[in-house]
């Protein structure tokens, strides 16, 4: 039997893996979308995403901030408030998110006929 050679795809696989490590998972993109849509405070973000727990939101916000996708701003009112905003770096994901949304709509129609 002849041995087949595999095609080297690491130049595609590695950057995709890196991207998924940063924005992958169940919540990160949803949180970014929520903030980009105007939910700037912790409770607003939490309420805008069904089934997202307080503990998970706190963890995900820290990771998004560490990866420079959001900024955490302390507002010196009384009481002190925290506002989250997306960074320019996160805004570069806008086309990716739009494509994911479009694909999701098409996929839902294909699978569920809706």
Domains by residue range for the chain, with CATH: 14-112 (1.10.10.10)
The 10s digit of each residue's pLDDT in 29-83 is 999 999 999 999 999 999 999 999 999 999 999 999 999 999 999 988 788 899 9
The model carries a pTM of 0.86
The 10s digit of each residue's pLDDT in 2-11 is 677 878 898 8
Placement of tokens 């409770």 in the chain: 43
pLDDT of residue 80: 87
The 10s digit of each residue's pLDDT in 90-103 is 999 999 999 999 99
CA 48/CA 71 separation, integer angstroms: 19
């Amino acid at each position: 039997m002849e041995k087949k050679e595999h095609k080297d795809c690491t130049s595609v696989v590695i950057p995709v893996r890196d991207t998924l490590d940063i924005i992958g998972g169940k919540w990160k993109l949803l949180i970014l979308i929520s903030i980009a849509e105007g939910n700037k405070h912790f409770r607003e973000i939490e309420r805008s995403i069904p089934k997202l727990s307080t503990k998970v939101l706190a963890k995900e916000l820290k990771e998004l901030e560490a990866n420079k996708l959001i900024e955490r701003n302390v507002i010196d009112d009384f009481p002190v408030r925290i506002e989250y905003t997306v960074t320019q770096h996160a805004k570069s994901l806008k086309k990716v998110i739009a494509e994911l949304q479009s694909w999701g709509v098409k996929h839902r129609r294909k699978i569920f006929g809706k």
